[in-house]
Amino acid sequence: MTALPLETHEDIGAVLRLRLAGFVRSLRDSGFKVGLAETGDAATLLMSPLVQRPAALRAAFRSLFCGRLSDWQRFDDLFDAYWLGRGVKSGVKVTGTSPKKGMKTIRELVDAQGARQDTIAGDVDRRPGEEDEASDDTPSRRREGASIADNLGQVDFRDIQDPDALKKAHDLAERLARSMRVRLTRRDRQKRKGPRLDLRRTIRHSIAHGGTPIDLVHKGPRERQLRLVILLDASGSMNNYTGVFTRFVHGILDNFREAEAFLFHTRLVHVSSALSERDAGRALDRMGLMAQGVGGGTKIGEALSDFNRWHAARVIHSRTCVMILSDGYDTCAPEILGAEMARLRRRCRRIVWLNPMLGWDGYEPVTSGMQAALPHVDLFAPAHNLDSLAALEPYLARL
């Protein structure tokens, strides 16, 4: 049956925006780094005359969404399968909105001039990225979310779509930070042996023996407590991970006596006061008000420059571990990032860089930003799931 055309240009725009949301989800599921800024630019392109020329639109989308050579090589097949209804080559994964029945190509959407109201409602009610039919070979996202909830420790945060499972992951991240704090402070208990005699405590213990100093109490050099300074990337390319990382950082600040947190995207924001709230919901609300611009671009070099200039002398001492949670995509010149990392390395005891993409199959830190930062990093580790965050504890315990 031939679908009746749409009524107005506004209706066409609404359907195109829904289709775009599904396409963005397809790209993310295929490993593309797509944020809010790229999605907004793509929506603008869809409302332009380019939508009448699919080849030109494909080229514009390719320039917008492809940040790596592997993305560039796969993009045309994904675009043609999703927007033009053409078959894909073997090995190319297409997810998001299914190109099955009821899905119109770009040409059909643009050429349509009037539509039955219930047809529009059917398109609008369907959530972006939801399959029309769930086959036995391709389980739906909702079914996948239920299985994810059973074993969250090993599941990549970007693959958790079920809201209940995502909430559970947030709670587990905060509990993980709390338990790390308990275990890391067990070694801080006072030792009864050391190079010097603790006269005051020796006298106090001798009272039980009538003043005879039977038990001598010694003391050694006092260790300064480990301090954690966390720099969290909240740019658009980190959208799939920022929520869980924020809860993890909230757990650290709620339980570590010496911890500071900063959030950066195109600028640096000190968020320790916001995340010190005991209630996680209020903490995240306060942080959202302070950190306007979350989900935009990334200027890691400039953010580190601001940190080194205005905050480092106050928050860093000889037992400080600086923890950077970022995918390393930087719009600044790599020389700036390298110079600021060198300045930071001279101040602190250790630098830990947690990159969620390091847990992806086939990922290599070949971006210019990561290449400039890695020579100054003591530990470069993945942070794509709860197990990778828990693996930090043995390293921190040795500091």
What is the structure's pLDDT at 183? 58
Q: Edge-to-edge, what's the strand order for the sheet holding 227-233?
A: 268-270, 259-264, 227-233, 320-325, 350-355, 379-382
- What does the pLDDT profile of the chain (399 residues) look like in tens digits? 344 344 444 456 677 888 888 888 888 877 788 888 888 888 888 888 887 888 888 888 988 898 887 788 888 888 888 888 765 443 344 444 444 444 555 555 555 533 433 433 344 344 434 443 444 443 444 334 444 444 778 888 888 877 777 788 888 888 878 777 655 654 434 455 566 777 888 888 888 888 888 888 777 666 566 789 999 999 888 988 988 898 889 888 877 778 999 999 888 999 998 887 877 777 877 787 777 766 678 899 999 999 999 999 999 988 899 999 999 999 889 999 999 999 999 999 999 999 999 988 888 888 899 999 999 999 999 999 888 888 888 888 777
What is the structure's pLDDT at 264? 92
| Amino acid letter, residue 157 | F
What is the structure's pLDDT at 12? 60
CATH code matching the domain that covers 171-182+225-397, chosen among 3.40.309.10, 3.40.50.410, 3.40.50.720, 3.20.20.70: 3.40.50.410
Please check whether residue 330 is in contact with residue 300, taking contact to mean a CB–CB distance below 8 angstroms. Answer: yes
Residue whose tokens read 């905060």: 174
Q: For the CA atoms of 190, 194, 198, 202, what is the dihedral angle to 10 degrees?
A: 80
Q: How many Å apart are CA 146 and CA 163, to the nearest integer?
A: 10
**Neighbouring residues of 326: CB distance < 8 A, sequence distance ≥ 6:** 231, 232, 233, 238, 298, 300, 353, 354, 355
Q: Domain residue spans in the chain?
A: 9-134, 171-182+225-397, 190-219
What is the structure's pLDDT at 125? 41
Q: How many Å apart are CA 380 and CA 390, to the nearest integer?
A: 15
What is the structure's pLDDT at 182? 58
Angle CA 377–170–280, to nearest 5: 100
Ramachandran category for residue 226: left, alpha or beta (phi over 0 → left; psi -120 to 50 → alpha): beta
What is the structure's pLDDT at 222? 60
DSSP 292: T
Q: How many Å apart are CA 84 and CA 186, to the nearest integer?
A: 61
Q: How many Å apart are CA 262 and CA 310, to the nearest integer?
A: 12
DSSP code per residue over 307-360: HHHHTHHHH--TTEEEEEE-----SS-HHHHHHHHHHHHHHSSEEEEEEGGGGS
What is the structure's pLDDT at 362? 87
